[in-house]
Amino acid sequence: MPKPIKHREMLRRLRALGWSGPYQQGRHPFMVRNAQRLTIPNPHYGDIDWILMKGISRNAEISADDWDRA
């Protein structure tokens, strides 16, 4: 089973994959790559569960291999 990930680590990997941000406009922060906008969870004290991270990577169109290499 995949492990939870820290918010800072998620941001680092998304930036390595070409996303910029996060920007705040409304309730949730988002990141931008070209014309695509990706909503990310608010930073909190706990880790981000792997199920939520799987949905974020699907919305960002990031493969598991690309995620592991980032």
Structure confidence by residue, pLDDT tens digits, 15-40: 999 999 999 988 889 999 999 999 99
Q: Residue 61 maps to which CATH number?
A: 3.30.920.30
Contact 50, 1 (CB under 8 A): yes
**Tally of domains in the chain:** 1
Domain extent at residue 44: 7-65
Contacts (Cβ under 8 Å, ≥6 apart) of 4: 46, 47, 48, 49, 50, 53
Summarised one tens digit per residue, pLDDT across range 34-48 is 999 999 988 877 899
Question: Is residue 44 in some structural domain?
Answer: yes
Residue 2 covered by a domain? no
For position 16, what pLDDT does the model report? 93
Predicted pLDDT at 45: 79
Residue 59 falls inside a structural domain: yes
Does residue 70 fall inside a structural domain?
Answer: no
Judge whether 25 lies within some domain.
yes
Is residue 36 situated within a structural domain?
A: yes
Burial 47-67 (b: 16+ CB within 10 A, else e): ebeeeebeebbeebebeeeeb
pLDDT at 1 over 60: no
How big is the chain, counted in residues? 70
